């Protein structure tokens, strides 16, 4: 019975550590996303960009392209 209690307590400790690290990661993502949203909302209108379909297309596709390039480079360096 004591062995079972030890295993359960070790499992709970392990999951608390994992939960804490996941919570920190989620908070970092939320803060980063909020900061980016505020930058777009308040600094974006000050940029002298023309309101054209090409500009919209660039801003929609650029994040996916950058992420794809980063992941491709990472895949090449870590086979």
Estimate the share of the chain in helix, then strand, then coil, as percent rounded to the nearest 5: 90, 0, 10
Rounded Cα distance, 28 and 42, in Å: 21
Per-residue pLDDT reduced to its tens digit, 15-59: 677 777 888 999 999 999 999 999 989 998 898 989 899 999 998
Q: How many CB atoms lie within 10 A of CB 49?
A: 12
Residue with tokens 């390039």: 69
Contact status, residue 78 vs residue 72, Cβ threshold 8 Å: no
The residues spanned by each domain of the chain are: 1-48, 49-79
Quick check: 68 pLDDT over 90? yes
Residue 49's SS3 state is coil
Per-residue pLDDT reduced to its tens digit, 36-46: 999 989 998 89
Q: 78 or 76: which carries more pLDDT confidence?
A: 76
- The pLDDT of residue 78 is 75
- The pLDDT of residue 21 is 83
């Amino acid at each position: 019975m004591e062995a079972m209690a030890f295993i359960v307590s070790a499992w709970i400790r392990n999951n608390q550590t994992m939960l804490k690290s996941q919570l920190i990661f989620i908070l970092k993502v939320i803060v980063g996303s909020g900061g980016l949203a505020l930058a777009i909302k308040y600094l974006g209108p000050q940029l002298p960009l023309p309101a054209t379909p090409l500009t919209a297309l660039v801003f929609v596709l650029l994040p996916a392209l950058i992420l794809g390039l980063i992941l491709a480079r990472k895949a090449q360096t870590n086979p």
